[in-house]
Structure 1
Amino acid sequence: MASTSRASRSQNVNLSQASQQPVQELDDKVRAIINYILDHIAQKIPIKDKDLVPAAGDRNELKKRLPLVTKLLAKRFGILLTPLDAGFKTFVCIAEEPLASIHELTPEQRPQFTLLYIILMYIFLRGNRIEDSKLWGMLEMLNIQADEEHGYFGPNLHKLIEETFVKQQYLKRERSQLSAYDDPKTFFLWGVRAKAEFTYEQIVQFASKLLNQHPKMFDHYLAMAQEGANAEQ
């Protein structure tokens, strides 16, 4: 009986391990997962695993298919499915070949992209972490009122920056309070998508043109940014 029991347990373990093996071949569930991702990629909003479960059937089936889905997205579409957390609960889709020119964007997208570039540049020049009040102040110096409609950038700039750019992972927002006697402050940093789609060298080129300065003038900022990026790794 003992040997039979051990054999039964061994068989159950083998079956359990087999059920966890990643799927290697394209099937209807893999197609459904990929189609869902492609249908929702344009908004650049993070995708949660619970959004993908209906296409897979259940979480276990999703887990088995994610490696193949990730591989196919990269190979066929140049899309990197990047987890935002260690538990693989939330993902962002990032283009393997980042945007090369603003002319690749539609006329409707260009104002948002330009504003984003200005904000990322300012964060870069301020040590990659700035207080929100200083960001609004910088925009006001450029005659960009975040609470008023702008002739080029459009309306609802507060919402665009604080909600859309943050949800899209271009910006990361942090709250900090030194002590119970201090008012909490909000800071903006580069988000995961910004770090993946843009380089500090690109921001230097943009800053040199916008501020009419030689790129060498930004070597100090570039060194600080690269040192901070290396420290995060």
Structure 2
Amino acid sequence: MPRGQKSKLRAREKRRQAREESGHLVDAQATVPEKEKPSSSPSPHFKDAPQSSPATGAHSNPQITGRVHSTSTTAEAAKNQVEEKPNASQAKDTTEHWPRGPIDKKVAMLVYYLLYKYQMKESITKADMLKNVIQIYKNHFHEILWKASEHLELVFGLDVKEVDPNRNIYVLVNKLESTYNGRVNENGGVPKTGLLMTVLGVIFTKGNCATEEQVWEVLNMMGLYDGMKNFIYGEPRKLITKDWVKEEYLEYRQVADSDPPRYEFLWGPRAHAETSKMRVLEFVAKIHNTVPSAFPTWYEEALRDEEERARARVVAKACTAAMASARSRAMASSFSCPK
């Protein structure tokens, strides 16, 4: 074969290999949640309140559910990976949603491992994570832990915190404060706080009252549908209209004078007690890799809410101190000797 023709064949083969490698790279990037960017197109549940920030350059109308949905598939893949005998549907889910890079597989496995430790109320150490999950990828420990922490925050509403830097001991903390009736109710299953924070975010950004249609629009974007059971969240309708209403996280009521009847959601008393508008806005901002001030209208409302909460705490503290003082005086008087 002439030398010139051989050179052409080699060049053609190199171009084919380059196209294949480029295709694999794009395909792999599509499975990594951290590389996703918020959609620039308007999102229906945000379009009523335009937001912009000269400081951050963030655009209005963000898509609230994108990263939450993508991270939930990673968590589900992690669960399927550790099943000893997955059924056919689980195997199908694993092949469809499983992250393709070795680092991303370790991220998914670490998510499930940390969830298991959280449910068992066992301590989490760096040594255990290296030995049981990360293994030969120990040089990527911080990257894997950071990505796993982001999944746990967005999907399950759990923050990973290092409580002992000297011994590298970590704990998972629920975003809801366990101050209402003494504890955060998780019913023995995986925490659903991430979804609850999303729903609370929709309610807050719709003027503190969201219609059922608006909430379902968001749930559908996340792949959650009425009557279709989800691996993480169970049956969505029961969760949002029964469970969370009974637990007083949500208020679900009929829209006044609606015929046929329509329904709407508000924050319940437990949501007001265990979180705040600022924390919920921080969660929404986290989804979009930005800061709460990127949404100035909601940020100003959240700041006012923080100030009101601070004043209420001061008043409550003063009342408690006054009651304690009065009780002490009454006790002292009752035990004083008559003259």
TM-score normalised by L of structure 1:
0.48
Which structure's CA Rg is the greater one? 2
TM-score normalised by L of structure 2:
0.34
